[in-house]
Amino acid sequence: MTTRPASPPRPAAAPRAPHRNGGPGGLAVLAAVTELRTSMRTPEFAVGVIAVPVLLYAMFGLPNAASPLPEGTRVGLAMLVSMCAYGIVSLAIFTFGEDVARERGRGWTRTLGATPYPTWVYLAGKTVNALLLAALIVVAMTVLAVLAGGVGMAVTSWAALAATLLGGVLAFSTLGFAIAFVARPRAAAVVANLIFLPLSFASGFFIPLGDLPQIMRDIAQYLPTYHFGQLAYRTVMPEADVEFWVGMASQPVWVHLAWVIGSAVVLGALALVAGRREAVTRRG
């Protein structure tokens, strides 16, 4: 009886190459793409953030778009800046406020805190997503203003306005984070609306401050959103037209910058303290 020769041992399978995600930068890009896809899959969010400012501009900006201000600025351009500022502040507050609060209520932020996933990647993803959505708002409203409102400017003026508006996303993201971590998750949406709507109205985004009572102009001087609007107006309108539009004497640019940046720092510190307090409470 013959025996079969032993078969040679099979070679060990080569180890699989580790999946590469591009390092921290790749993670940030993946987070941004994921956030953007999530936003686009939520119709009410896309409509509320992008369509509402466009509709408001169509209703309030286009009817008198050709009317000139004393130095020649068209009302259509002034209303374009106002409605863009409204859309940017709305986007910043609700993207970083309501969304983060919802994820906080579901325990998602707590889960991320227990993983090696860097917190800055989570924040970077939301920031890039908000900037992309802000760019969509600016582009959509610009197309409408140019085609239907006859608004025209030099390329440099368009670029300066767009840069100022996108900077507002970063400035007011801190207000959103403060709402997300200070308010209860279920109440964050209500709190965001209670803060955002009065801010927008008192800052002259819906109705020019020059057409509102004096008390509104007195209040506006202490609102960071008003100063943000002033920075945006100043990029595309002569100083005399800005004064006519808001019904107040102009202030140096550094004053408006100080208000916007100072409020961002204070609100960012508030959000950081609230976030750390929540983390300590969970551990305790």
Amino acid making up residue 160:
A
Q: What is the mean pLDDT of residues 132-156?
A: 89
Q: Predicted confidence band at 133 (pLDDT cuts at 50, 70, 90)?
A: confident
As a whole number of angstroms, the distance between CA 225 and CA 88 comes to 10
As a whole number of angstroms, the distance between CA 266 and CA 247 comes to 28
Q: Which residues pair with 74 in a beta bridge?
A: 68
Q: What average pLDDT does the structure give for the chain? A: 82
Lowest mean pLDDT of 47-61, 131-145, 162-176, name the range. Answer: 47-61
Q: How far apart are the first and last CA of the chain?
A: 75
Residue closest to 275 by CA, chosen among 122, 134, 166? 122
The first and second tokens of residue 48, run together, are: 């509320």
Q: Which residues pair with 68 in a beta bridge?
A: 74
146 within 8 A of 152, measured Cβ to Cβ: yes
Q: What is the pTM of this model?
A: 0.83
pLDDT recorded at residue 226 = 94
153 within 8 A of 103, measured Cβ to Cβ: no
For the chain, percent of residues with pLDDT exceeding 90: 29
Q: Predicted confidence band at 160 (pLDDT cuts at 50, 70, 90)?
A: very high
pLDDT recorded at residue 232 = 95
pLDDT at 85 over 90: yes
Q: Predicted confidence band at 214 (pLDDT cuts at 50, 70, 90)?
A: confident
Question: pLDDT tens digit string along 91-121?
Answer: 888 777 777 777 777 777 677 766 776 777 7
